[in-house]
Amino acid sequence: MLDQTFVFEELAAQGIRFFTGVPDSYLNGFCNYALLNCGDRNVIAANEGNAVGIAAGHYLATREIPLVYMQNSGMGNTVNPLASLADEAVYGVPMLLLIGWRGQGDTEPNHPQHRLQGEITPGLLELLHLPYSVLTDDPEDFRAVLAKAVRSCRESRKAYGLIAPKGVMAAAEKANNRDEIYPMSREEAIEVILDHMPADTIYSATTGRATRELFFLREKRGETKDTDFLNVGSMGHASSVALGIALARPDRRVVVLDGDSAAIMHLGALTMISKLSAPNFLHIVLNNGAHESVGGQPSAGHRIDFTAIARACGYATADKAVETKEELIAALKQLKDCGRAAFIDCRIHKGLSRKLPPIVFDHREAIDALIENINRED
């Protein structure tokens, strides 16, 4: 990994002092340095398109070139603002795009959700007519590439991509940073939910730890995985997939095991309930106030009132966020048969309750089993 003190010194020397984006495990060295050292010059955004907009505003207000960081899976969120806001033929907003390159070559053999994105990462930048360089962990190479990128930004008034392969901007291991703000872990909360919902409930688990913990809880409990949708990619869309299932199968209970960062990424999805009837739909946000899967950087999850937001969008809710097993059980009983789509903000602590291996499974086999389960004749 590049020494991050060196990286930020070189960025400062080139006039790059403002950073915004969505944390990525391939960039956790960079993201954690920015978090610890850059104060309000580092803005963790709701999603990558949001970050491009923030960066554009910074440039307009200061003429300083900003840096936007992201995992390559989030590049899709940036396409519209890069093509219709920052483009040189529109407002000409230069910025550096630091992109973690998941799925490059054979670096993710057990994670097919990264394969296509990894293959097309350079091509997406080319389609947007944006120049780019692939970083290495050689300091002199980084210095030269950065100088070239900043010069390009200044001369062309357009974005420049810096693609970071595995190991260039991230340590090999992510720390398990646990706090004690709330008593429950995510795994404990999921197990309470499994214990108090009907056996044939369909679950949609969000990207990251929720999918992994649901997967291994099923194995620990000796239960089928045929009712589980593991949203291993497409962060922020687990609730939308679940809503589509719930609308099509009103006879089945559908529960979303969401994360706070994932829910925030596409918060507008909550408003759909205001115009739809889905009394079998229960949306639970497992809220630890962090981007835990990529390094534990803080989200806005513990700063906002998800319950009030959900209630305003038309959900039935508990009176407030739940914080203990007893409160979670009471909320599940209160909302399970309330006759409306329901929402629970479940506050949990950061950190893993146990060390789990990566999920290795046949994705098509798993989804076909779920499809068969949902569509079988009772």
CATH number at residue 67: 3.40.50.970
Q: Are residues 251 and 296 in the same domain?
A: yes
Domain presence at residue 274 = yes
As for how many domains the chain has, the answer is: 2
Q: Please identify, among 131, 164, 197, the residue that sits at the C-terminal boundary of a domain.
A: 164
Q: Are residues 159 and 299 in the same domain?
A: no
Q: Which domain holds residue 198?
A: 186-375
Please answer whether residues 66 and 16 qualify as being in contact, where contact means their C-beta atoms are separated by less than 8 angstroms.
yes
Q: Are residues 197 and 254 in the same domain?
A: yes
Contacts of 74 by beta carbon, 8 Å cutoff, 6+ apart:
22, 24, 47, 48, 235
Q: Are residues 41 and 111 in the same domain?
A: yes
Q: Are residues 190 and 157 in the same domain?
A: no
pLDDT, residue 269, reads 97
pTM (predicted TM-score): 0.95
Q: Are residues 149 and 198 in the same domain?
A: no
Residues of the chain with pLDDT under 70: 172-176, 353, 378
Q: Are residues 213 and 345 in the same domain?
A: yes
Q: Are residues 129 and 215 in the same domain?
A: no
Domain presence at residue 91 = yes
Domain presence at residue 337 = yes
| 3-state SS class at 97 | strand
| Integer Cα distance of 237 and 208 in angstroms | 13
Query: 36: how many CB neighbours lie within 10 A of its CB?
Result: 10
Task: Give the tokens for residue 68.
Answer: 């936007």
Domain presence at residue 294 = yes
| Integer Cα distance of 346 and 362 in angstroms | 30
Q: Please identify, among 164, 194, 227, the residue that sits at the C-terminal boundary of a domain.
A: 164
Domain presence at residue 52 = yes
pLDDT, residue 222, reads 97
Q: Are residues 307 and 368 in the same domain?
A: yes
Q: Are residues 157 and 195 in the same domain?
A: no
Domain presence at residue 39 = yes
Domain presence at residue 234 = yes
pLDDT, residue 174, reads 61
Domain presence at residue 160 = yes
Q: Are residues 97 and 210 in the same domain?
A: no
| Integer Cα distance of 65 and 56 in angstroms | 9
Which pLDDT tens digit goes with each residue over 19-51?
999 999 999 999 999 999 999 999 999 999 999
Helix or strand holding residue 146 (H, E): helix 139-156
Q: Are residues 296 and 206 in the same domain?
A: yes
Q: Please identify, among 130, 164, 198, the residue that sits at the C-terminal boundary of a domain.
A: 164
